[in-house]
Amino acid sequence: MRSLQSNKVLLDVRNLKVNYKLSGSTIRAVDGVSFTLKKGDRVAIVGESGSGKSTLGLSIIRLCPAEITGEVLLEGLDLLKLEEEEIRKMRGSEVSIIFQDPGSALNPVMRVGEQVMEVFTSHGFSKSEAYNRSLGLLKIVGIPDAGKRMGYYPHQLSGGMKQRIIIAMAIALGPRLIIADEPTSALDVTIQDQILKLIRNLSESKGLSMILITHDMGVAAEVCNYIGIMYAGRILEMGSLEDIFNNPKHPYTLSLMSCIPKGQKGVLKPLPGNVPDMSNLPEGCKFRPRCPYAQEYCRLDEPELVPIEGRLIACNRVR
Amino acid sequence: MEIVRGENLSKFYDVKVSTTKSSVLKAVEGVNISIRAKEVFGLVGESGSGKSTLGRLLLWLERPSSGRVLFKDLDLLKAKKKVVKEARRKMQVVFQNPDSSLDPRMKIGKILLEGLECSGYKGNCHDRIKSVVEDVGLRPDVIDMFPHHLSGGMKQRVAVARAILAEPEFIVLDEPTSALDVSVQAQILNLLTEIQKKIGLSYLFISHNLSVVSYVSNRVGVMYLGELVEIGESNEVFNNPLHPYTKLLISSVPSLYMSNKYDVSNYNVIHEGSNGVVKGCKFSPRCPYSDDLCRSKEPKLEGVGHLVSCFHVSGVTNAAR
């Protein structure tokens, strides 16, 4: 597997579990996820809706109101053990997040310039310093006529421009890790293409590590060099972009690939059934009810994520 | 044979800017479209390009500001009300979001029955519903369930069932899989293709997802700011796009499989938006090939089989090659 910057591990997630407590039932949204992310690497977490991919992203910087257990080590520092005040300071300066809908991530009654400046002023910068840095940032993320746009309200900007503002805020304090949660799902394809290129270039030029959460395999391929396939709160397969896309091994990854239309060639082979109900998960392997290769032992034994042929796979059959 | 034809269709909306001022939004402008029997016509374009409005105009759900719609050579503007009603029974629609197109307080059986009764179906309604429910891959007991008992994919199957119950000849599918996960999307796409082949009806398949459209369509139309800029056989348009906008669109799709990418780095990135008045070709502000002619005169959709509205088609293709 190729590594872009160095072999130094930036993020080490160990046995992360996130439980949402509802009245009477517990939703195990993330159920024992472990992975490492090296400096400068970009990993995509791909999964269908309800697979727990957003919860995974949010729980890394403790932004979800749920019971989180396990370890999230950012260069050895366990983010889950920090005091609330300490984690609040980490957000933005060490780890920042980009959300899906730029319309709801920006304050509609505040000029966008002020919103970018606020990132600086709330981390101890003076107002004039904050202004100059914000102006520079807007130029970096490709906003034309940045000085004028600083005085605009969000509704005066297009969706793509708003997402650029959000990206500017995310990189403002020079974080080491960016979590992007479906950053382009609300945008048109031509705008999506621009934003994906921007994200990729920023990550490459600044050596930023990134976790990209998406349901779109194409988006993952455009930006990332590692892919993790998530299903019902677990990672089922993880490896380099080439390995996962050119030679998928887990039955779920295989089926997911055959669900994507490839132009007029080939026939779609849809997966039977639906994404499982998270409050009522099947026994054993979570993918078993939809798996064409399921055996009796898949019911008894939940497979662990183990290394096979240069990648990680959780499947009893492949092992 | 032709099922539906739109001639010179335009739809303008008045948009209130303030209490006294209003401006005109040209959602669809001067579109000519013909949908043949037993074909799937894919309509692609970015949001705000007028795809859905065009679909609604062809269904006669909205009256055009100018132009006319012909259903099997019947002019819907001039025909008698009763005749129009009869014709519209042969046209159905499936919307994007089944949560808002199915009444949450009605059982599935009643939702389906209501549509069938309105269509003036002569046979035994209950038998017909039973067989169609089976055709769309649902268990017969869904008839006694409410929409909230069903998953998104199953609800979309109900919407498809309701559309085909009345034995239509033409269905507008307006982003029918955009709200679904990929595994469920594949199920619905296969179902729609199966039904189309089995019954032999025509679809207008509206989607912003190019891979989906190229998978299902025989012919494709590309819309930009209310106008059709390119029409052709699906293979032709996706493998040999002529309009600079179509090239931009195809190259922008992040995909593992679409290998036909063009160099679009010289395109202007600033989107003027549909409210900005552009003289001449509407794509000229973004187009790297635009010249004085493009900025003063509007190109017409021209060609045989593969139609395109661009003054530079031969020049464009040469430069790209």
Q: What is the pLDDT of residues B296-320, one digit of tens each?
A: 999 999 888 899 999 988 644 444 4
Instruction: Cite the DSSP H helix spans in chain B.
Output: 51-58, 81-88, 98-101, 108-118, 125-135, 152-165, 182-195, 210-216, 234-239, 244-252, 292-296, 313-320
B79-92 per-position pLDDT tens digit: 999 999 999 999 99
- Counting one residue from chain A and one from chain B, the pairs whose CB atoms sit within 8 A come to 100
User: Domain for residue A301, yes or no?
Assistant: no
Gap between the Cα atoms of A4 and A184, Å rounded: 24
Same domain, A159 and A202: no
User: Domain for residue A304, yes or no?
Assistant: no
Specify which residues A31 forms β-bridges with: A17
B212-226 per-position pLDDT tens digit: 999 999 999 999 999
Q: How many helices (H) and strands (E) does chain B have?
A: 12, 11
Residue B166: per-residue pLDDT: 87
Contact call for residues B223 and B229 (beta carbons, < 8 A): yes
Residue A4: per-residue pLDDT: 42
State percent of chain B over pLDDT 90.
68
Residue B317: per-residue pLDDT: 46
Closest CA–CA distance from residue B182 to any residue of chain A (Å): 6
Closest CA–CA distance from residue A50 to any residue of chain B (Å): 10
pLDDT bin (cut points 50, 70, 90) of residue A6 is low
User: Domain for residue A283, yes or no?
Assistant: no
Pairing of strands B227-233, B74-75: unpaired
Helix axes A159-171, A112-121, angle to 10 degrees: 10
Same domain, A59 and A186: yes
Same domain, A182 and A150: no
What fold, for B2-90+168-241? Rossmann fold (3.40.50)
Same domain, A50 and A167: no
Contact call for residues A230 and A62 (beta carbons, < 8 A): no
Gap between the Cα atoms of B229 and B241, Å rounded: 11
Mean pLDDT of chain B: 89
A148 CB within 8 Å of a chain B CB: no
What is the average per-residue pLDDT within B20-44? 93
Mean pLDDT of chain A: 90
State percent of chain A over pLDDT 70.
97
User: Domain for residue A79, yes or no?
Assistant: yes
What residues of chain A lie within 8 A of the CB of B250, using their CB?
Answer: none
Residue A271: per-residue pLDDT: 84
User: Domain for residue A81, yes or no?
Assistant: yes
pLDDT bin (cut points 50, 70, 90) of residue B227 is very high
Same domain, A154 and A208: no
Same domain, A18 and A163: no
How many distinct structural domains can be found in chain A?
A: 2
What is the average per-residue pLDDT within B32-44? 96
Residue B319: per-residue pLDDT: 44
pLDDT bin (cut points 50, 70, 90) of residue B257 is low
Helix, coil or strand: residue A158: coil
A172-218 per-position pLDDT tens digit: 999 999 999 999 988 888 889 999 999 999 999 999 999 999 999 99
Same domain, A252 and A191: yes
Residue B314: per-residue pLDDT: 65
Q: Please tell me which residue of chain A has the smallest CA distance to B48.
A: A188
How far are the Cα atoms of B200, B216, B218, B237 from residue B233, in angstroms, in the given order? Answer: 19, 12, 6, 6
ipTM above 0.85, yes or no: no
User: Domain for residue A99, yes or no?
Assistant: no
- Per the structure, the complete domain to which residue A242 belongs is given by 1-94+177-262
B67-80 per-position pLDDT tens digit: 999 999 999 999 99
A264 CB within 8 Å of a chain B CB: yes
A263-312 per-position pLDDT tens digit: 666 678 888 877 788 888 888 999 999 999 999 899 988 899 999 988 99
Closest CA–CA distance from residue B126 to any residue of chain A (Å): 27
CATH code of residue A212: 3.40.50.300
pLDDT greater than 80 at residue B275: no
Residue B53 class from Cβ within 10 Å (0-12 exposed, 13-18 middle, 19+ buried)?
buried
A216-247 per-position pLDDT tens digit: 999 999 999 999 999 999 999 999 999 999 89
Residue finishing a domain among A174, A206, A228: A174
User: Domain for residue A272, yes or no?
Assistant: no
Residue A26: per-residue pLDDT: 87
CB contact under 8 A, B254 and A255: no
pLDDT bin (cut points 50, 70, 90) of residue B123 is confident
pLDDT bin (cut points 50, 70, 90) of residue B179 is confident
Residue finishing a domain among A234, A262, A290: A262
Residue finishing a domain among A216, A245, A262: A262
In the numeric block, the tokens 């259903």 are attached to B71
User: Domain for residue A49, yes or no?
Assistant: yes
CB contact under 8 A, A193 and B251: yes
Same domain, A86 and A11: yes
What is the average per-residue pLDDT within B248-259? 78
CB contact under 8 A, A261 and B235: no
pLDDT bin (cut points 50, 70, 90) of residue B136 is very high
